[in-house]
Chains A and B, each alone.
Chain A
Amino acid sequence: MPRLSLIQEVLVRVLEDEMLLYRATWAGSDPAQLESFRSHYELQRPPRGPEVRAAVIHMAVSMFETAEPCWALIDRTKGRIGDHVAELRLVPGRGVCAAKTGGPLHWSVWGNPAVLQAAVSGYVDRWNLPISSSRR
């Protein structure tokens, strides 16, 4: 019996309104931060398993509606995906598109990595409180 992925249809939105999303990343001073806004495709990783079926996922960057799942992923990967949670204010007119995909709170985002990085409006701690600039 075939496994039924939740990703059967991807409704991509061209942003018409500002959108606030969160992403596990590195400090703004770390060159690795830009890399964290790249998709598997941009990182030149071959499509894995289901990504072969859905290039749209291979070419997307994952973000969440809240910071909590980002912190959970940071903890479960022992910091391999970053040590900061960035708040991104994605605005229309910069080529960014987004689609609700996968599990609760998860969004797939498409955009120029530099544009995504420039959308970082701040960082939040584990209690969803803003981190002051001196701690970034």
Chain B
Amino acid sequence: MTYSIFTSTGNLVDAFDDRDAAVAALTDIVRAEPESADEVFVVAQDDEGNVGETIYGSSLHVTA
């Protein structure tokens, strides 16, 4: 599985092969820029590219 961070522009920010690493990177982005929470997200893709789970920054519990 690949876990990619995209924004609502449709452009990639980063990609990981580990879910926790991707969520941690997303959390860091939201912590640094809280207003981005609604526009950054992680999508999971299997090896064929099928898109699965999606995690929006706004769904995370981020503390300053």
A interface, CB within 8 angstroms of B:
3-7, 23-24, 36, 38-40, 43, 45-46, 48-51, 54, 57, 60-62, 64-66, 68-70, 72-73, 76-77, 80-82, 101-106, 108
Known: A3-B25, A49-B28, A62-B6. A102 touches B49 (CB 8 A): no
B9 contacts A43, CB within 8 Å?
Answer: yes
Give the dominant DSSP class at B's interface.
Answer: mixed
Q: Which residues of B line the A interface, CB within 8 A?
A: 2-18, 21, 24-26, 28-29, 32-33, 36, 39-41, 43, 45-51, 54
Asked if A40 meets B11 with Cβ closer than 8 Å, knowing A3-B18, A48-B33, A69-B51, the reply is yes
Once the chains bind, are A72 and B4 in contact (CB under 8 Å)?
no
15 new A-B contacts at CB < 8 Å, known A4-B16, A6-B14, A7-B14: A3-B18, A3-B21, A4-B21, A6-B16, A40-B9, A48-B32, A49-B13, A57-B12, A57-B13, A68-B49, A69-B49, A72-B50, A72-B51, A73-B10, A81-B10
Give A105 to B14 CA distance when docked, in angstroms.
Answer: 14
Considering only CB atoms, which chain A residue lies closest to B14 in the complex? A50
